[in-house]
Amino acid sequence: MTEAKGMLTRSELAERVEQGALETVIVAFTDHYGRLMGKRYDARFFLEEALVHGAHACDYLLTVDMEMNPVPGYRFANWERGYGDFHLVPDLTTLRVASWLEKSALVLCDVHAVETHARVAVAPRSILRAQVERAARAGFTALAASELEYYLYRGSQREALARGWRGLEPVGHTLEDYDLRQGARTEPFHAAARRHLAASGVPVENSKGEWGLGQHELNVRYTDALAMADRHGVYKQCLKELADQQGLALTFMAKVAADQAGSSCHIHMSLAQLLPGQSAKNAFAGDEPCGPVRGSKIFRHFLAGWIAHAAELMPFYAPTVNSYKRYQSASWAPTRLAWSHDNRTAGFRVVGHEQSLRIECRIPGADANPYLAFAASLASGLDGIERELEPPPCFEGDIYSARELPRVPVNLRDALAGFEHSTFARAAFGNDVVEHYAHFFRSEWEAWERAVTDWERQRYFERI
């Protein structure tokens, strides 16, 4: 894997600032939802101060709901403790040009405690870092890619809000999956997205029209898991801001409409292993049969662990109430916990061969926080290797109709119950992380239970 175009070193940043090519540095971190939060710094001040000493932000940002309201009940931060600061430590390996913004660069941060300078355990990037380090101790580098889908609408986000998100006009008017005309109609947006991502340290593979009205997918190159989660976050930020600039509305909701396909975040993952005297190789490659696939014991055990723990870690793949509307038969989203070879009805689809052999998990939606979803995937697979678990038999045929197979949880409440009582989750991530995120997911579910929806008014207002 070569260095991506648009990445900057400290000296390159200083040189561009001196030339006047860069004036702003965005200092960012991810919240529970995977949204980038942070500050814009004068580039010279960043070089002189924030790069050396880091930055600060209010710790309430790891306790807020989608509306930015601080939710009571967290031990990490609360009104009783006064909502102090945490320390943002720039990770210079993430420093990049933000090509879609004028004269701007962006750097992602690890979240540290002010008092101890230790990583904040409940921060999403900390959670993934811990699993990446666990893999490294076992001699592996986790490689990953995430395939994101989204819907694009004519008219701005502000206009969509004014209309209550109703009656939006998709950029496509008929189902055109893979039809080049759908891509041509949105080329002003997607050409800009591909160009700016590629110039901002996020190498692009392709973009295409998807199955839903106005639904699209843009894929970027795989890399190590932490860098891929970073790319994922930059990708979403770039596309949201480009949509704003072009007067379009874009959503990464998992299920934007009952009669339209859901938007996924398929995760591809494999392990690289560096053996003495050799270059890094795909640890999944091998000659042992596993159904129709030939791979290594490591591949089998990783697959088995990933499947075995999927249900109990489901909130890390499907974090919102809306996430679970996506899991419907014949919808391209999986409903059963099974694996198959190149079969898009499976929750786990094995693709590639030899050095390209990898596992695609089709469970996460586009609303997943990549740091949490990758951490869940990696923790599960590593546990499978450590305990030498064996996967269930490879399933052939339509998995939607295989009612004997275990089903993914049907809603966030059920998924939360499995997560909160999971001994594996507590062993993998720690009690503090499980309790923190259980409270987060519970608050999300309770907000839904209190809500009165348009569907209820339409169904009951006149007829009850």
pLDDT at 169: 87
At residue 348, does pLDDT exceed 90? Answer: yes
Task: Grade residue 22 by pLDDT with cuts at 50, 70 and 90.
Answer: very high
pLDDT at 346: 84
Mean pLDDT value of segment 293-320: 97
Residues 169, 173, 174, 180: is their CA dihedral positive or negative? negative
What are residue 219's DSSP bridge partners?
206
pLDDT at 234: 97
Calculate the average pLDDT of the chain.
Answer: 92
CATH number of 10-120: 3.10.20.70
pLDDT at 368: 97
At residue 182, does pLDDT exceed 80? Answer: no
pLDDT at 1: 57
Mean pLDDT value of segment 327-333: 82
pLDDT at 2: 60
Task: Grade residue 153 by pLDDT with cuts at 50, 70 and 90.
Answer: very high
Six-digit token string for 106: 């962006």
pLDDT at 298: 97
pLDDT at 8: 96
pLDDT at 330: 79
* Chain segment 194-219, per-residue pLDDT in tens: 999 999 999 999 988 887 888 999 99
Mean pLDDT value of segment 46-56: 93
Extended strands (E) in 132-287 = 140-154, 169-170, 204-209, 215-220, 223-224, 248-251, 265-273, 281-282
Task: Grade residue 135 by pLDDT with cuts at 50, 70 and 90.
Answer: very high
Distance CA 459, CA 203 (A): 47
HEC string of 343-375 equals CCCCCEEEECCHHHCEEEECCCECCCCHHHHHH
Parse the chain into domains and list their residue ranges. 10-120, 135-453
At residue 281, does pLDDT exceed 60? Answer: yes
Q: Which CATH superfamily is domain 135-453 in?
A: Glutamine synthetase/guanido kinase, catalytic domain (3.30.590.10)
pLDDT at 333: 84
Task: Grade residue 402 by pLDDT with cuts at 50, 70 and 90.
Answer: confident
* Chain segment 71-124, per-residue pLDDT in tens: 999 999 889 888 899 999 999 999 999 999 999 999 999 999 998 899 999 999
HEC string of 44-93 equals HHHHHHHHHHCEEEEHHHHCECCCCCECCCCCCCCCCCCCCEEEEEECHH
